[in-house]
């Protein structure tokens, strides 16, 4: 098998890890309104668990508020209840035909806690990238057509790719830390 096929496979898996990491850290509130924070919220709608973004239009009227306008006004209370029970640390206020979520100003202590929680997401992402590397390395080592020099070269190339994506995770982490600590 050719190095480009191995690299392509590894790169695809590592890109998935970085993308998932971006999704995970976007859910960490920086004290500013971000509709992505609600991506994990689902509401029971006619007996089916339905993602919130399929039930309401989400807008950002100002930097510290989200405004949800349900497509079906009869589920407004259910949506507000689901948001309040979701452990996101926000309070959804039912205004009848819409729901308003206000984000409180983050204290310095809370910002430090969020930075600490960010490190667990960072470590999980790096583990995922290393796991991808291990899987590709197993495939390379099991390829009987490769001589020792090619094997070493292929493994080095996969390690270079791993270093690139690990560095990308570190850069995303620094950006998020900076946005969390900015008042």
**One-character DSSP codes across 66-128:** EEEEESSGGGHHHHHHHHHTTTSS-EEEE-SS-EEEEPPPPPHHHHHHHHHHHHHHHHHHHHH
Last residue of a domain, one of 46, 76, 102: 102
Same domain? 39 vs 95: yes
Can you read off the two tokens belonging to residue 101?
């979520």
Looking at residue 46, its pLDDT comes to 87
Residue 44, H or E segment: strand 42-45
Which pTM value belongs to this model? 0.70
Which CATH number characterizes residue 7's domain? 1.10.132.20
Same domain? 171 vs 126: yes
Q: Are 42 and 82 in contact (CB under 8 A)?
A: yes
Instruction: Give me the number of domains the chain comprises.
Output: 2
Same domain? 147 vs 91: no
Q: Are 33 and 100 in contact (CB under 8 A)?
A: no
Looking at residue 160, its pLDDT comes to 94
Looking at residue 1, its pLDDT comes to 58
pLDDT tens digits in sequence order for the chain, 183 residues long: 577 888 899 999 999 999 999 888 877 766 677 787 787 788 888 888 988 888 899 888 888 888 999 998 888 899 998 888 887 777 888 898 899 988 777 778 878 888 888 888 999 999 999 999 999 999 999 988 888 898 899 999 999 999 999 999 999 999 988 888 776
CA dihedral of 156, 160, 166, 170, whole degrees rounded to 10: 140
Looking at residue 125, its pLDDT comes to 95
Looking at residue 31, its pLDDT comes to 66
């Amino acid at each position: 098998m050719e190095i480009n096929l191995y690299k392509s496979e590894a790169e695809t898996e590592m890109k998935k890890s970085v993308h998932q990491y971006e999704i995970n850290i976007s859910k960490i509130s920086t004290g500013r309104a971000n509709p992505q924070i609600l991506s994990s919220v689902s509401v029971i709608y006619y007996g089916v668990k339905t993602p919130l973004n399929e039930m309401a239009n989400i807008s950002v009227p100002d930097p510290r508020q989200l405004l949800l306008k349900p497509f079906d006004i009869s589920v407004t209370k259910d949506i507000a209840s689901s948001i309040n029970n979701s452990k996101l640390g926000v309070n959804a206020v039912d205004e009848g035909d819409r729901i308003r979520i206000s984000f409180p100003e983050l204290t310095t202590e809370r910002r430090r806690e969020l930075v600490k929680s960010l490190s667990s997401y960072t470590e999980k992402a790096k583990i995922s990238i290393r796991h991808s590397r291990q899987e590709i390395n197993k495939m390379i080592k099991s390829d009987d057509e490769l001589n020792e020099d090619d094997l070493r070269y292929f493994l080095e190339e996969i390690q270079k790719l791993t270093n690139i994506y690990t560095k990308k995770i570190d850069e995303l982490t620094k950006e998020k830390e900076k946005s969390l600590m900015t008042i």
